[in-house]
Structure 1
C-alpha cells in the first residue's frame, strides 16, 4: 500500500466505477421505479402517516390530554384524525362533484357551438385587421384547424380516459392499503423510533448522531410548514378565484377554480397551467371573460407571491429563484410530479445545509488566520 502505483490504481478504478455508474444511471432509475411499484403501498403509508401525524399530535395535546394511558390516547387520536379527514373529503365531494359533473357535461355538449362562435369571432377579427393591411389569415386558419381537431378528438380522448379505469382502481387499492399501513405506523410510532434510535447509536458516534438529529428536526420543520402552507395557499387562491368568477358571472366557476387551486400547489409552473386552462375554456364561451380572467389571475398571483406566501411561509423557505428553478427541473426529471411538488422544500433544506457548512468553514479559516497572526 505504500507503493506509488497503489493510490493511482485505486483512483483509476474509482473513476471507472463512477463513469460506469453515471453512464448507466437510467438503469438505476428504472430499478428504483420497479422497486417503487412493489413498495408503493408501504411508501404511501409512510407518506400518509407523516402528513397525518401533526393532526394526531394535536388531538393528543388538546382534546385527549386528560387520558393517562398512552395506548388508548394514541388510538383515539388516530381514529379522530381519520374521521376528520374522511368527513372533509365527503363534504368536499358532495359539494363539488355534482357541480363538476354538470360543468363538464355542459361544456362537452356545447363544445361545437363554442368552437363555431370562436371561429366566427376570429374571422371577423381577421377581416377587420385586413383593412389595416395586417394579414392574420395564417394564424386564424391554424386556430380554426386546432379547434376542429379538438372537437373531433375530445370524445375519443374521453373514451381513452374511461379505459384507464383499471389503473385508477389499482391506485385506489394501493391507497387503501397505504391508509391501513399508515394506521399501523402511527400506532407503533414510538417503538419504531426507539428501535431506529438504538440501531443508529450502535454505528454512529454521539456528536454525529446529535448533528443528524438537528438536521432532521430542521428538515422536518421545513417540510411540515411547506406542506401545510402550500395546501392552505392553494385553498385560498381557489376560493378567491371562485368568488371572483361568481361575482363577474363567468361560466364553469367551480371547474376552473378547482383546477386553479390544485395547480397552484405546484410551484412556478402550476399557476401558469391553471391560467392557460381557465382561459382556454372561457375563450370558447366568452373571449372578454377570458381576458378579464387572465388579468385577474396575474393580479391574484402577484398578491399571492408577494403577500400571502411570505405570510404563510415566513423566512423558513428563503431560497433564491435560481435554486428553485434548478430543483424544479431536476426534481421533475427524476421524480415526476412528486419532484416538482417537493422542489422548494428540498431547495430550502439544501440551502440551510450549505449556509451552515460555509459558516463553519469561514469560522475555521478565521480562527486559523488569528492563530497564525499570534504566532
Structure 2
C-alpha cells in the first residue's frame, strides 16, 4: 500500500528541519567564533597577493581605459585589441611609476631632512626638560623632602627604568617579526603587481567567466540584480575613493603652501601627515593635527598655536567648500552613519577600515534601503520615511522650499 503523504505537512517539516539546521550552524559559529575568526585571518593572509593585485588593478583600470581610448582614436583599427591592450598596459605602469618617482623624489628628501633635524634637536629638548625640572625642584625646595618620600621617588624611578629595560628586551623578537613581515609584505606586493597585470590584460575574460558561472548556478533575474548591485557598489567606491584622494592631495598642497607662506618649520613633513590622515573622514584632521602640533610645540610653541589656528581654518575650508565640491553626495550617508561606519570598521580593520568603512557601509545601507522599499511596495505602503513619523513629532527636514511670490 502506497503511503499517503500530505504535501502541506511535508513542506512544514522541511522548513522546520531547515530552521533547526540553520540555528545549529549559527549557535556553533557563535560558540567557536574565535577559531573561525582565526581561520578566516589565515585564509585572508593566504589570499593577500590576490587582494593586493585586485586593488592595484582596480586603481589602475581607469588610467588604462583612458590611455586605450586615446590610443584607439590615434591609431583607429590599425592595431589589434590584444596588441593595443599590451601597449596601453605598459604605458599605464610607466606613467604610474613616473608620477610616483617624481612625487617621492620631491617629498622624501624633505621628510628625511625634517626627521633628521628633529632627531638632532632631541638632546637639546631633553636638556631643556632637565633644566625645567631642576628649576621646579629648586623653586619648591624639593631637595628637603623627607627620606621616605625620596625613597619612594627613587623606587618609582627604578621601576620605570626596569619597565623600559623589559620593553626593550621584549622588543627584540618583535623587531625580528617586523622584519619578517616587511619581507613577506614586499614579496606579496611583487606578486600583487604580477597578478594585477594578468587581471588588467584579461579583465573582460574574467568578468565573462564569472557571469557565465553565475548564470549556470543562479536564476537570470538574480544574476542581473547582483550585477546591478556590483555596478552601484563600484560607483560608490570609485567616486568616494578617487574624490577623497584628490581632496586630500589638495589639502596637503594647501597646507604646504600656507606653512611656507607663514615660514613655519617642517612644512613638507607636516603637510604629508595632514594630507595622508585627511583621507580618513571626520577623524582624519584630528589624527593629523595632533602630532603636527606636538612637533611644532617642541620647536616653537607660539608657531604651534598659529598652526593649530591655520589647520582649523583649512579643515573648515575643506569641510564646507572643497570636500562638497569634489565628493558631493557620493555615499548618500548622513553624518551619524559616517561616524558609525568609521567607528565600527575602524575597530575591525584599523586604519584601512576607517578609510573603506564609509563606502562599504554606504553599499550596505543602500541594499537595506532598497530591500525595505521593495517590501513596503509589495504591501502597498508608502516608501518615504516621513510617512512613518508621528503626527505629533514629524521629521525635521532641511530648509523648506521657498514659496512663489504672489502676483499683485
Deviation at 1:367, TM superposition (A): 7.1
Cα deviation 1:151-198 (Å, max 9, x = unaligned):
x99xx79x9797644432321221111111101111011211111111
| Equivalent-residue separation in structure 1 for 2:54 and 2:185 (angstroms) | 16
Aligned to 1:18: 26
User: Do the aligned partners of residues 365 and 45 (structure 1) sit closer, same or farther apart at CA in structure 2, a change above 3 Å counting?
Assistant: same
Equivalenced residue count is 346
Q: Choose 4-13 or 228-237, whichever is displaced more.
A: 4-13
> Of residues 336, 340, 346 in structure 2, which corresponds to 1:326?
340
User: Do the aligned partners of residues 11 and 166 (structure 1) sit closer, same or farther apart at CA in structure 2, a change above 3 Å counting?
Assistant: closer
User: Do the aligned partners of residues 122 and 233 (structure 1) sit closer, same or farther apart at CA in structure 2, a change above 3 Å counting?
Assistant: farther
* 5+ residue gaps, structure 1: 128-144, 369-375
Deviation at 1:329, TM superposition (A): 2.5
Aligned to 2:380: 366
What secondary structure sits across from 1:251 in the alignment? coil
**TM-score computed with the length of structure 2 as normaliser:** 0.76
Aligned to 2:54: 46
Aligned to 2:255: 241
What secondary structure sits across from 2:71 in the alignment? coil
Deviation at 1:347, TM superposition (A): 1.9
| Equivalent-residue separation in structure 1 for 2:225 and 2:55 (angstroms) | 24
Deviation at 1:75, TM superposition (A): 1.0
Aligned to 1:73: 84
CA contact (8 A) 1:332 1:338 kept: yes
| Equivalent-residue separation in structure 1 for 2:247 and 2:217 (angstroms) | 42
Q: Choose 173-182 or 112-121, whichever is displaced more.
A: 112-121
Q: Choose 10-19 or 176-185, whichever is displaced more.
A: 10-19
**TM-score computed with the length of structure 1 as normaliser:** 0.83
User: Do the aligned partners of residues 26 and 214 (structure 1) sit closer, same or farther apart at CA in structure 2, a change above 3 Å counting?
Assistant: same
> Of residues 31, 37, 40 in structure 1, which corresponds to 2:45?
37
Structure having the higher helix fraction is 1
> Of residues 275, 280, 298 in structure 2, which corresponds to 1:266?
280
User: Do the aligned partners of residues 229 and 201 (structure 1) sit closer, same or farther apart at CA in structure 2, a change above 3 Å counting?
Assistant: same
Aligned to 1:184: 198
Cα deviation 1:204-244 (Å, max 9, x = unaligned):
22222221121111111111111111111111111111111
Aligned to 1:132: none
* 5+ residue gaps, structure 2: 1-6, 139-156, 383-408
Higher CA-based Rg: 2
**1:59 pairs with 2:67:** yes
User: Do the aligned partners of residues 35 and 9 (structure 1) sit closer, same or farther apart at CA in structure 2, a change above 3 Å counting?
Assistant: closer
**1:252 pairs with 2:260:** no
| Equivalent-residue separation in structure 1 for 2:22 and 2:208 (angstroms) | 37
Matches within 5 A, 1:110-259: 110-117=121-128, 164-259=178-273
CA RMSD of aligned residues (A): 3.1
Deviation at 1:17, TM superposition (A): 2.3
**1:90 pairs with 2:85:** no
User: Do the aligned partners of residues 124 and 42 (structure 1) sit closer, same or farther apart at CA in structure 2, a change above 3 Å counting?
Assistant: same
| Equivalent-residue separation in structure 2 for 1:266 and 1:317 (angstroms) | 14
CA contact (8 A) 1:327 1:344 kept: yes
| Equivalent-residue separation in structure 1 for 2:65 and 2:294 (angstroms) | 44
Cα deviation 1:296-352 (Å, max 9, x = unaligned):
212211221222111111222120222222222221233333222101111221232
What secondary structure sits across from 2:380 in the alignment? helix
